Amino acid sequence: MKILIIGSRGQLGSDLMRTKPLHNKIDIVSINRSQLDLSDTARIYPLLIEQSFDVLINCAAYNRVDDAESNVHEAYLVNAYAVREFARVCEKQKHIFIHISSDYVFSGNKSTPYIEADLPIPLSVYGTSKALGEVFALEYSENIILRTASLFGIAGSRGKGGNFVASIINKTKEKKPIEVVNDITMSPTSTKDLAQWIWIILENKIQPGMYNAVNTGHATWFNFAQEIISHIKSDANLSVVTSTTYPHKAIRPRYSVLDNAKLTAQIGSIRSWQEALTDYLQEKRYRT
């Protein structure tokens, strides 16, 4: 099976590359930004239709959520119109298409975990562009869309320049008080785990469609920071703030916990974010 990864140098893309199952006959090829800028919509179909592959996994995104409020054009091109081109190519060639979406497609007005059938009502340009990408990907019934959230991975997000876990650890080293919001609740998720679920999805040939793909459990950003600090046995001075203390350009959903029961039914149990965090921190310590 030949897999084409778009965005292979990103946080999720690099974990897909390094978790490739050894026992399977899987070849990975990738196309990066220097070969194909996804904002150049007209180039995507002609370039990809010439490539030989069986599965396309799109890990690329314009994911600087606040910048997207002013770079609307680029966010839509990369997060939505590029996805439409991937879907067209995959439909034409009968390839499997796996696309990654986001919890930011939701408004956050619920107080129980979002299921796949809940209506996306995004609050930001990033969320709207990702929601439109989902619509394009869903136009072809054989596609798989994985909605994920609050990612942490060894490589750190290329777009955002790191991840929350690394940022909290860096702040503990500065020995200054750390303020973290406690009024936003989400599903922290490991990109190593997400990558492994993708390999299982391909192996198990699961039903196409939309799946929430997050580690089990939920946390506020404050809870998440507390868990990180407790793991690294730091005596950092952590305090609670509300999201109004440091307003962002883009509005975030207050509650975007995703229910992963549908995916669990297909691939088996999914470990908690706390277990995934322990794994990440052990690996990170090993590597530094």
CB 129, min distance to ligand NAP, A: 9
CB 244, min distance to ligand NAP, A: 22
Contact in structure between 200 and 267 (CB atoms under 8 Å): yes
- Binds ligand NAP by CB under 6 A, chosen from 11, 124, 128, 129: 11
Stretch that binds ligand NAP, among 46-54, 151-159, 168-176, 245-253 (CB under 6 A): 151-159
CB nearer to ligand NAP: give 94 or 246: 246
Angle between helices 41-49 and 82-93 (to 10 degrees): 20
- Binds ligand NAP by CB under 6 A, chosen from 57, 80, 149, 195: 149
CB nearer to ligand NAP: give 13 or 122: 13
Provide the token pair at 104: 């930011």
Beta pairing class for 178-181 and 238-241? parallel
From residue 12, how far is each of 31, 163, 229, 234 by CA, in Å?
Answer: 15, 12, 24, 28
Cα 140 from Cα 136, distance rounded (Å): 8
Stretch that binds ligand NAP, among 2-10, 109-117, 215-223, 273-281 (CB under 6 A): 2-10
- Binds ligand NAP by CB under 6 A, chosen from 3, 4, 7, 222: 7
Measure the CA angle with vertex 56, ends 24 and 207; round to 5°.
Answer: 75
From residue 65, how far is each of 41, 84, 150, 232 by CA, in Å?
Answer: 21, 21, 12, 29
Q: Greatest CA span in the chain, whole angstroms?
A: 57
Cα 98 from Cα 163, distance rounded (Å): 23
CB nearer to ligand NAP: give 88 or 253: 253
From residue 272, how far is each of 65, 113, 219 by CA, in Å?
Answer: 26, 15, 11
Cα 86 from Cα 49, distance rounded (Å): 9
CB nearer to ligand NAP: give 123 or 237: 123
Window 99-118: contact mask with ligand NAP (x via CB under 6 A):
-x-xx---------------
CB nearer to ligand NAP: give 147 or 239: 147
Contact in structure between 174 and 163 (CB atoms under 8 Å): no
> Is position 143 an interface residue for ligand NAP (rule: CB under 6 A)?
no
Window 67-96: contact mask with ligand NAP (x via CB under 6 A):
-----------x------------------
CB 237, min distance to ligand NAP, A: 26
Window 14-33: contact mask with ligand NAP (x via CB under 6 A):
------------------xx
How many residues belong to the site for ligand NAP (CB under 6 A)? 27
Cα 13 from Cα 15, distance rounded (Å): 5
CB nearer to ligand NAP: give 23 or 42: 42
- Binds ligand NAP by CB under 6 A, chosen from 16, 59, 75, 258: 59
For 188, phi then psi, to 5°, come to -60, 140
* Interacting residues with ligand NAP (CB under 6 A): 7, 9-13, 32-33, 37-39, 59-63, 78, 100, 102-103, 148-151, 157-159
